[in-house]
Amino acid sequence: MSEYRNTPVENLTHDMARAELAALANEIRMHRDAYYVDDNPTLSDAEFDALERRNALIEQKFPKLIRDDSPSKYVGAKASTKFKKHTHHVPMLSLDNAFSKEDVTAFVDRARKFLGLDKAAPLPFTAEPKIDGLSLSITYLSGVLKTASTRGDGKEGEDVTANVLQIPEIPRTLHCENPPEEIEIRGEVYMDDEGFNELNQNQIAKGAQIYANARNAAAGSLRQIDAQVTATRPLKFFAYATGYETAPIAKTQMELIETLEKWGFKTNPLTKIFNDADGLVAHYNHIGELRENLGYEIDGVVYKVNELALQDRLGIVTRFPRWAIAHKFPAKPSKTKLLDIDIQIGRTGVLTPVARLEPVAVGGVMVSNATLHNEDYIHELDIRIGDTVFVQRAGDVIPQIIGIDKDLRPHDAAVFHFPHICPCPLKTVVSRITDKESGETEVAARCSGEYDCPHQKKRHLEHFVSRTAYDIDGLGPRQIEIFLEKGLISAPADIFRLKDKRNALEGLEGFGETSINNLLNAIEARRNIGLDRFIYALGVRHIGQTTSGLLARNFGSWDRFKQAVTDAANARPNDDFQRLSVIDGLGPVMRDKLLEASDKISPPDDLFGSDLLEVIRPVQGLNTKAKQALLAHFHDAKEFVEIVKSAANGKPKQAYIDFFSQDGMGEVATDALIEFFQSERAMSGLNDLLSEVIITEIVAAKQDTAIAGKTVVFTGTLQTLSREEAKQQAINLGAKVSGSVSAKTDYVVAGAEAGSKLTKAQSLGVKVLTEAEWVEMIRD
């Protein structure tokens, strides 16, 4: 961070402004790289917006100092016009992160389960250091280096061939007799500690920009316009993968590394094979011990399923391969003073306590706020205002307090009292809600104000424009705040009417003509929006990005989606049915037995001392546990009979069951959607929005397959595939996967020991396939 960062813009001198702009250009580029290129932001959106805004304000005051590489001149990390674009034949993926042994075990278990391996079957993984550099894909045609490209957004990178030809560690020709016609070799360009320090010394001597870290230095050095400059930079390269290839060169990751080594690449000598999570984590710890003395920067250990054929089967979930994960090293915690605790209100009304800290560097980033999670967390750690606390950034963006140094506790350290009244202007009584399914009280406290609560409204709008939702460039938390404050917007639809408020925008500080044009253009560009993003942007509880994508794929159009939710709402069980469903110890089978017998039970004759056991005597097949559960739950036999009779008339109907049985949905998410569509306020906001935007349909990925658009249910034990893998295949081929059989089901794939779903399919006349028939059907 620059030494002038805390100086207000109006107090900056010319020289200070120049230095600040240089520092900002560097920092913003770094954060954009982290955000766009690595999908691994180093700052919160708010912190990042603050940097961009400061840059804009300084440029406004000192227009002569605007740099050629000013962040105001480009967006994202990919839009650099310096280099030709290069489209990757095979996308360059990034990796999901693990931060604990539990995460690693979960990863190993997921892969094993997906592959349907039984306990005894080995599944070897490689473990290799995660090099802190930037990834590069190099194409060789008949063994000769043809092009080299950075990752960019994973689909399209920058052609840096001329620069890569200057890196001695990258062979221009493959040292092999029969090179494949075409092959992409992938790996990490990095700078070792010695090279990095030397480079910075030289930069200082020249009065040139110094690099914040080795990764930046490597990125900056590779992406020089003049390849001769790159030639002077000590860049190195570790190869670890292949991309597109006309012929496979290995069967396993280990073999691949060995082949690349023979072909003249440097590969990492710490790559080893292990059969389970224990082995992987032991190697991680070992590498952690070596880390200080390796001579180059690493930020974790990457685990990969060794067998390449299994990697193919495991495939990709959203952006990450299912066959690999990066086990990150924790950032070292920093110590600082807890100045105060504030309450922040989230989009769904959750009150989160936030620590205000004396600013401290954590993993290279200045931190002055950290999350304290919830009321219980503060009590468990006995955190008091005035304490000296340890702050850590655990890979994700939000720093957290992980402990306190009690020895340093001042005598006047104050206990924090969590508010029972929301600090929002509505002053709602905050409640800790009981979860419908688990029956547990939420740790989170909530304000019930919803859109009436200004904090929730603001968060809602922030969510609406965020990168994974509407993704409106130039409209972030900072702008939302200003527009709300000035009354320019109040609901999402208003964003699309900002174009009519140009005059008001022009009056705002920090909004010049160009930035207003850019903003309005960015808004117009989003008037057409895909159904998946639209559903996600609505911000319905429990409907995240993955679920939204799934719903969009399953229904294709907004109208069909809306109709399905409406149908599900009409088919929803009544309150009494739900009340019976959540009784601990009753369970769905016993519940249904009770409901089937609802005609046979009648209220007790006498008003006093009525015996529930007597009342349920006519019900066949209730077990003792269920009886006990009912006795514990109901104290009034008359009321019990009324509820059972009402519940029997209010059973869920098929449309509701179909909806929540969609693979990846569930009752809680379904109910949340139904409640959203039943809320008058949500509907009026939605209709207003629909008058401004156009939702584009989502077409199933593959239309020309035998099962595209069909609804498939898997049941029983499959032999050649795991259930998870079979589902994934079906989805990839454009099918919908459901967990329940109805008249709308097209195929039921029945494995061994298929039970009630098979029976139901037969009774409904739904086509039943054996596993072999299914495999045959999807073969071409």
- Give the residue numbers marked as catalytic: 130
> Six-digit token pair at 521?
């253009």
Crossing angle between the packed helical segments 45-61 and 477-485, to the nearest 10 degrees: 70
Identify which of residues 23 and 98 has a Cβ nearer to ligand IVH in the complex.
98
Task: Please say which residue, 93 or 482, places its beta carbon nearer to ligand IVH.
Answer: 93
* Residue 55 interacts with ligand IVH (CB under 6 A): yes or no: no
What's the CA dihedral at 231, 29, 41, 295 to 10 degrees?
A: 30
Q: Does 302 bind ligand IVH (CB under 6 A)?
A: yes
Residues 6+ apart with CB under 8 A from 649: 574
Query: Does residue 135 interact with ligand IVH by CB under 6 A?
Result: yes
Q: Which stretch binds ligand IVH (CB under 6 A): 80-88, 127-135, 283-291, 622-630?
A: 127-135
Give least dist CB 321 to ligand IVH, A.
5
Applying CB under 6 A, the span of 128-136, 462-470, 628-636, 695-703 interacting with ligand IVH comes to 128-136
If 0-12 CB within 10 Å is exposed, 13-18 middle and 19+ buried, where does residue 182 land? middle
| Nearest-approach distance from CB 316 to ligand IVH, in angstroms | 9
The phi and psi torsions of 462 (rounded to 5 degrees) equal: -60, -45
Nearer to ligand IVH, 241 or 531 (CB): 241
Per-residue tokens: 344: 């922040």
Interaction between residue 77 and ligand IVH (CB under 6 A):
no
Buried b (16+ CB within 10 A) or exposed e, 134-161: bbbbbbbeebebebbbbbbbbebbbbbb
Q: Strands 298-305 and 414-415: what pairing?
A: unpaired
Shortest Å distance, C-beta 318 to ligand IVH: 13
Run of H or E including 748: strand 747-750
Q: Which is nearer to ligand IVH, 395 or 419 (CB)?
A: 395
- Of 92 and 538, which has the nearer Cβ to ligand IVH? 92
Q: Smallest distance, Å, CB 139 to ligand IVH?
A: 17
287 binds ligand IVH (CB under 6 A): no
Q: How far apart are CA 602 and CA 617, in angstroms?
A: 10
- Give the number of other Cβ atoms within 10 Å of residue 168's Cβ: 10
Distance CA(699)–CA(703), nearest Å, equals 8
Task: Kindly identify the residues of this chain, within the stretch 93-122, that bind ligand IVH according to CB under 6 A.
Answer: 93-95
Instruction: Examine residue 52 and tell whether it contacts ligand IVH (CB under 6 A).
Output: no
**Using rule CB under 6 A, residue 310 touches ligand IVH:** no
Q: Which stretch binds ligand IVH (CB under 6 A): 92-100, 110-118, 284-292, 429-437?
A: 92-100
Binds ligand IVH by CB under 6 A, chosen from 32, 86, 130, 233: 130
Q: How far is the CB of 403 from ligand IVH (least distance, A)?
A: 28
Among 48, 114, 211, 240, binds ligand IVH (CB under 6 A): 240
Q: How far is CA 407 from CA 46, 377, 416, 563, in A?
A: 34, 20, 19, 62
Interface of this chain with ligand IVH, residues 150 to 179, rule: CB under 6 A:
151
* Element (DSSP H or E) covering residue 287: helix 277-290
Size of the site for ligand IVH (CB under 6 A): 15
CA-CA-CA-CA torsion for 489, 490, 495, 501, nearest 10 degrees?
Answer: -30
Confirm or reject binding of residue 508 to ligand IVH (CB under 6 A). Answer: no
State which of residues 127, 138, 185, 241 lies at the interface with ligand IVH (CB under 6 A).
Answer: 241
The mark string for 181-200 relative to ligand IVH (x by CB under 6 A, - otherwise) is -------x------------
CB of 2 or CB of 40, closer to ligand IVH: 40
| Choices 286-294, 321-329, 509-517, 567-575 (CB under 6 A): range interacting with ligand IVH | 321-329
Q: Alpha helix locations (H) across 159-276?
A: 161-164, 193-206, 214-222, 227-231, 253-262
Could you identify the residue written with the tokens 């399905």? 564
Report the 10 Å Cβ neighbour count for 236. Answer: 19
- Whichever of 240 and 284 has its CB closer to ligand IVH, that residue is 240
Length of the chain: 780
**For 285-423, where are the E strands, in sequence order?**
298-305, 316-317, 320-321, 324-328, 334-345, 350-362, 365-371, 384-385, 388-392, 400-404, 414-415
Q: Alpha-carbon distance 527 to 69, whole Å?
A: 31
* Residues forming beta bridges with residue 343, ordered by sequence position: 353
Residue 280 near ligand IVH by CB under 6 A? no
Q: Which residue's beta carbon is nearest to the bound ligand IVH?
A: 135
Short-list 206, 261, 196, 202, CA closest to 234: 196
Phi, psi of 144 (to 5 degrees): -115, 130
Q: Least separation, in Å, of the C-beta of 314 and ligand IVH?
A: 11
Nearest distance from residue 182's CB to ligand IVH, in Å?
A: 19
Burial of residue 441 (number of CB atoms within 10 Å: 0-12, 13-18, 19+):
exposed
Closer residue to ligand IVH in complex, CB, 90/589: 90
Residue 66 in 3-state DSSP? coil
Q: How far is the CB of 326 from ligand IVH (least distance, A)?
A: 5
**In the complex, least distance from residue 112 CB atom to ligand IVH, rounded to whole angstroms:** 19
CB of 24 to ligand IVH, least distance (A): 26
For ligand IVH, the closer CB: 38 or 159: 38
Residues 6+ apart with CB under 8 A from 329: 288, 291, 298, 299, 300
Residue of 21, 131, 529, 737 that binds ligand IVH (CB under 6 A): 131
User: How far apart are the C-alpha atoms of 695 and 717, rounded to whole Å?
Assistant: 40
**C-beta closer to ligand IVH: residue 107 or 660:** 107
Q: Closer CB to ligand IVH, residue 125 or residue 240? A: 240
Least distance to ligand IVH, CB of residue 164, Å: 15
Among 174, 326, 647, 718, binds ligand IVH (CB under 6 A): 326
Chain residues binding ligand IVH by CB under 6 A are: 93-95, 128, 130-131, 135, 151, 188, 240-241, 302, 321, 324, 326
